[in-house]
Amino acid sequence: MRSKIMKLAGVVAVSATLALGASACGGKSDSGGGGGDTVTIGFMGDLTGENSGIVIPPKQAAQLAIDEYNATNPKVKITLKTYDSQGKGEQAVPLAKQAITKDKIAGLIGPAFSGESAQVDPVLEEGKVPSISASATNAALATHGWKYWHRLIANDNVQGAGIGGFIATQLKAKKVFIIHDSSEYGKPFAETVKSTVEKAGAKTSEDAIDVQASDYSSTVNKVKAFAPDAIFFGGYYAQGGKLIKQLREGGVKARFLSGDGSLDKGLAAGAGGTTADGSIIGCPCLIDPNGTAGPASKKFATDYKAKFGADTAIYSAEGYDAATAFIAAVKAGNTTAEKINTYLSTIDIPGVSKQIKFSPAGEPTATDVYVYQVKGDQLPLLGNSKNATVK
């Protein structure tokens, strides 16, 4: 996920000792007060904090999927119980313990951010409760050997390779200038893009900007001297918008690209007017409010707008698919956390964002990266980075 909170997460987990004892079995078929015919699935993330705008869409989408399932009058219904962590590990960990020992959830959608995931997932692991995040992208999360952890969004390494491939193959750029913000997110992300385009034969040059600075003229001059076909920026939209503005004022016309940290209307606002138009933003998330990606995406977009009065947004499709995975497990007769986790190890069904299937490490086997193009204050989907075209 794009915010600094997520990217700076690291993998330093707090002590996850739970003392769950006999109650550490996770969810039960009688959890959630359903009298044996209800399974409770949790949703955890920043629901009221400063980054809630990018967590509410997947929460709403998960609720939509569950409401649609319950409307079919199944033998076992599902209740979605929310946990507002505000993206903070110190709030998320006790909430996770409550979810396991008191609420007896059978699964968790989330946590939304990578930072809280690094702290909460050891707790879920000890409680033997499966989780599926719709948005946590820190690559290191998949390296801990967790058996109950999953996510439905490709990690940052995959995103960097996808955007780099798009620059080399679709844009056919021969000279690429790489800029990053020196952050734990932006720098390694930019390095992945750089290595990808170099392997494809492109020449590169690079520079870093200071996120506290407002004058990027030094970087602009370096870009002008290199005369690239494309510029990739690893960082966030606040700096990205200012960078575009100064590049254009400096006479640089090369195509500007960035990643999910810039997938926000604030990029265009920072650049001013239509200055950012034509910029390409990549993301492993599918945002498709017009349903152009296919019939399933079209139906999801239509149903989402009918229920919430808003277009689908960032991570909403992944939230819907995370709920769909748990629904499929329950429909197959699995109502306890451990049985649901076993089911998730073999799930292989279509979702609205991708095929829902996990590697043994919990990563999505689908590694699609999508590209969006700035047009005014809108970010319409161009398509999959492997075959999208730019006019």
What are 322-358's pLDDT values in tens digits? 999 999 999 999 999 999 999 999 999 999 999 999 9
Q: Are residues 374 and 264 in the same domain?
A: yes
Q: Are residues 182 and 135 in the same domain?
A: no
Q: What are the structure tokens assigned to 282, written together?
A: 């990549």
Q: Are residues 278 and 139 in the same domain?
A: no
Comparing 175-184, 240-249, 275-284, 298-307, which segment has the lowest mean pLDDT?
175-184
Q: What is the average per-residue pLDDT within 238-246? A: 95
- Structurally, the chain folds into a number of domains equal to 2
Q: Are residues 249 and 302 in the same domain?
A: no
What are 76-97's pLDDT values in tens digits? 999 999 999 998 999 999 999 9
Checking if the pLDDT of 207 tops 80, the result is yes
Q: What is the average per-residue pLDDT within 202-209? A: 98
Checking if the pLDDT of 25 tops 80, the result is no
Q: Are residues 299 and 319 in the same domain?
A: yes
Give the Cα-Cα-Cα angle 354, 169, 318 (nearest 5 degrees). 15
Q: Are residues 379 and 272 in the same domain?
A: yes
Task: Write b or e for each residue in 301-330: b if 16 or more Cβ atoms lie within 10 A of its Cβ, otherwise e.
Answer: bebbeeebeeebbbbbbbbbbbbbbbbbbb
Residue 117: give its domain's CATH number. 3.40.50.2300
Question: What pTM, to 2 d.p., does this model score?
Answer: 0.81
Q: What is the average per-residue pLDDT within 100-117? A: 94
What local confidence, expressed as pLDDT, does residue 391 receive? 73
Higher pLDDT, 166 or 383: 166
Q: Are residues 233 and 375 in the same domain?
A: yes
Q: Are residues 149 and 171 in the same domain?
A: no
Q: Are residues 47 and 196 in the same domain?
A: no
Q: What is the average per-residue pLDDT within 353-378? A: 95
Q: Are residues 374 and 252 in the same domain?
A: yes
**Residue matched to tokens 């492997």:** 386
What local confidence, expressed as pLDDT, does residue 36 receive? 63
Query: What's the rounded Cα separation, in Å, for the pair 360 and 2?
Result: 25
Q: Is residue 201 part of a domain?
A: yes
Enclosing domain of residue 192: 157-283+370-384
